Amino acid sequence: MSHLYRAPLYQIIISLSLLWAFPASALVKQPSPSQSVDPFWKNAVVYFMLTDRFANGDKHNDHNFNRQHDGATLRNFMGGDLKGVTQKIKSGYFHDLGVSVLWITPVNEQIHGYWDEDWGRSYPFHGYWPKDWTSVDPNFGTEAEMAEMIATAHQHGMRVLADVIINHTGPKTLSDVAWPNEWIRTQPTCSWTSYAGNVTCALADSLTDIRTESDDPVDLPAFLIEKWRTEGRLEKEQTELNAFFARTQLPRAPKNYIIKWLTDWVREYGIDGFRVDTAKHVEAQVWQTLKVEATTALNQWRTAHPERALDDKPFFMIGEVMHFGLNGFKNTPKGTRLYDYGDKQVDFYDYGFDSLINMGFATHANQPMEQIFSTYSHELTQGPLSGIGVLNYVVSHDDPEPYDPQHTTPYQTALKLMLAPGAVQIYYGDELARNLSYPDAMGDATWRSFMNWQDLAQPETQRLLQHWQKLGQFRQAHLAVGAGIHKKLSDKPYVFQRTLAEQGTHQADKVLVAIAMPKGEKTLHLNGLFPDGSEITDYYSNTRVEVHDNKVILNTPFSVVLLGVQSEND
């Protein structure tokens, strides 16, 4: 059944309003289950960082709202900010790593106080306890600094994913009042055993659940009205809300206020996509509405700023659906792309999502490379996930089972992740073997330490970073790595090829990879992939060689070979 027949009336009105507001040539296309996601997103290198834990660009914004430094281990604000991210963009750090997309944790204004949870006193350094969706938290910087970060990323050819939340607010604290009861619930706590036990419930005491199932009109919270009045923008915010609800004909329900606030950031600054937090805990139709409104907003930004737009790729939306994964991982029935709640199954790709985070990769990474690569290639090019996207990772901010947490095989870990079919997420510090074990840290705090920039003084850390950089640059130069069809050529040494047919504006692409080759001189047979006389590049050693008799001869000090035709833009 098409989206049109499944969508509520107000979503149909929104879709039709796009056609009325913009000429067909200006529309941003929305992927559907029958329309393949752009190969760029299937191959993307996404760098994910906790904003507070990455780089401190301005120490003057480290203390706000009388927040103290009395939290449990790794549960205070530590000073990372938007200015620090911008500085790293300008320094070329991400470019050298082959990063094509930046994903930062939410920078919306957070609750001002702390919350005593099971893991100790916690401040909202992580960005997932929102208080005001329309403001930037001063600990992360200013709105102008956020705008500069996005613009700088675009200038360096990188896209930006904003981490967004509709499911919950931050908790009531000694410094923060609760949202009104018509906006939120605190009971029941989620049972995880059914659809209702995941959606119409509170995830935890610290996450007061937005009543996203409701279409009942609600007033703005009194505390927010007073805050905006004090800041001198109450009339502006109310006027914009009135215009939004008049245009969309959406009910003034809590979810739709938040949709308006989130998409304003796209309309103002050209954010390229959303990473959606706690997606399975919200009715899927809400995300469909968010996608439509975000698409409208990006189109408006591009119309207003044509000189600043990277291209006309559609707005991208990726979801965090806990326990979704490839090849029958946990709540994903084998041979499907569904999420199984127990009493109901949902295909999130049918509700605006172009991609989902693959939470199975950290487990699958225990398997041999060929088993991972061949299985993933089949599922993503011929199987149930054909034409759509996933994002693989080995470590994340709230996954209790990261791959190789002690960094016993850091080079092998990088090979498995960065050469895997599908898009890949580098979690900040993966490339520097950031410590993931803090004895005094409880729960997820141990994966959220400050970026270990100091380790770059060590030669071994520099060598590991160079390994990640070579893999990232190879992937960035060749869409076939993540989006192509995989074929094993030999076991020992392990050699495989990836081929990608021409698609839209993207030319056909092909690569050949060899692992566990002898160091020094080596001969590599090419399986007819590159014609005799052609010049190809080994991206690992930065060596150009010419093909003769269906083979190349290399003399490098490395056991890894990454072959592809180098373009003029590489």
Q: How many CB atoms lie within 10 A of CB 325?
A: 22
Contact 263, 28 (CB under 8 A): no
Neighbours of 260 (CB within 10 A): 24
Which uninterrupted H or E stretch holds 304?
A: helix 284-304
Residues 6+ apart with CB under 8 A from 335: 328, 383, 384
Q: Who contacts 50 (Cβ-Cβ below 8 Å, separation ≥6)?
A: 80, 105, 125, 126, 127, 397, 428, 448
Q: What is each CA distance from 13 to 10, 25, 218, 261, 292, in whole angstroms?
A: 5, 20, 21, 20, 11
* The pLDDT of residue 35: 54
Residue-wise pLDDT tens for the chain (570 aa)? 222 223 344 444 444 333 333 332 233 333 344 358 999 999 999 999 999 999 999 999 999 999 999 999 999 999 999 999 999 999 999 999 999 999 999 999 999 999 998 899 999 999 999 999 999 999 999 999 999 999 999 999 999 999 999 999 999 999 999 999 999 999 999 999 999 999 999 999 899 999 999 999 999 999 999 999 999 999 999 999 999 999 999 999 999 999 999 999 999 999 999 999 999 999 999 999 999 999 999 999 999 999 999 999 999 999 999 999 999 999 999 999 999 999 999 999 999 999 999 999 999 999 999 999 999 999 999 999 999 999 999 999 999 999 999 999 999 999 999 999 999 999 999 999 999 999 899 999 999 999 999 999 999 999 999 999 999 999 999 999 999 999 999 999 999 999 999 887 789 999 999 999 999 999 999 999 999 999 999 999 999 999 999 999 999 999 999 999 998 776
Edge-to-edge strand list for the sheet holding 184-185: 168-169, 208-210, 184-185
Of 350, 509, 390, 451, give the one whose Cα is nearest residue 2: 350
Residues 6+ apart with CB under 8 A from 426: 45, 46, 47, 48, 97, 99, 417, 468, 472
Closest CA to 468 of 366, 557, 562, 564: 562
Q: Tokens 């092998």 — which residue?
A: 412
Indicate the SS3 state at residue 112. Answer: coil
Six token digits for residue 159: 């896209």
**401-410: long-range contacts (C-beta < 8 A, 24 or more apart)?**
401/362, 401/363, 402/362, 402/436, 402/447, 403/361, 403/362, 403/363, 403/365, 403/366, 404/365, 405/436, 405/437, 406/436, 406/437, 407/433, 407/436, 410/464
* CA-wise closest residue to 99 among 426, 569, 371, 325: 426
Instruction: Assess contact for 266 and 297: CB atoms under 8 A.
Output: yes
Q: Is the distance from CB of 167 to CB of 147 less than 8 angstroms?
A: no
- Using CA atoms in the order 317, 93, 106, 272, what is the torsion angle rounded to 10 degrees? -30
Place of tokens 């003769």: 548
Contacts of 210 (CB under 8 A, 6+ apart): 166, 167, 168, 169, 183, 184, 254, 255, 258
Cβ atoms of residues 556 and 519 within 8 Å: yes
Tokens of 169: 């607010």
CA distances from 181 to 218, 250, 264, 568 (A): 10, 21, 25, 59
Question: Which string of b and e fits 48-87 if b means at least 16 CB within 10 Å?
Answer: bbbbbbbbbbeeebbeebebeeebbebbbbbbbbbbbbbb
Number of CB atoms found within 10 A of residue 190's CB = 18
**82-128: pLDDT as tens digits:** 999 999 999 999 999 999 999 999 999 999 999 998 899 999 999 99
Decide: 360 and 393 in contact? Cβ < 8 Å.
no
Integer distance in angstroms from the first to the last C-alpha of the chain? 43
3-state secondary structure labels for all residues of 289-301:
HHHHHHHHHHHHH
The per-residue b/e assignment along 378-390, b for 16 or more CB within 10 angstroms, e otherwise, is bbbbebbbeebbb
By three-state DSSP, how is residue 91 classified?
Answer: helix
- How far is 352 from 14, CA to CA, in rounded Å? 14
Q: 218 near 254, Cβ under 8 Å?
A: yes
Residues with catalytic function: 277, 320
CA atoms within 13 A on the CB side of 122: 25
> Residue type at 55?
A
Taking Cα atoms as reference points, which of 326, 328, 333, 453 lies closest to residue 393? 326
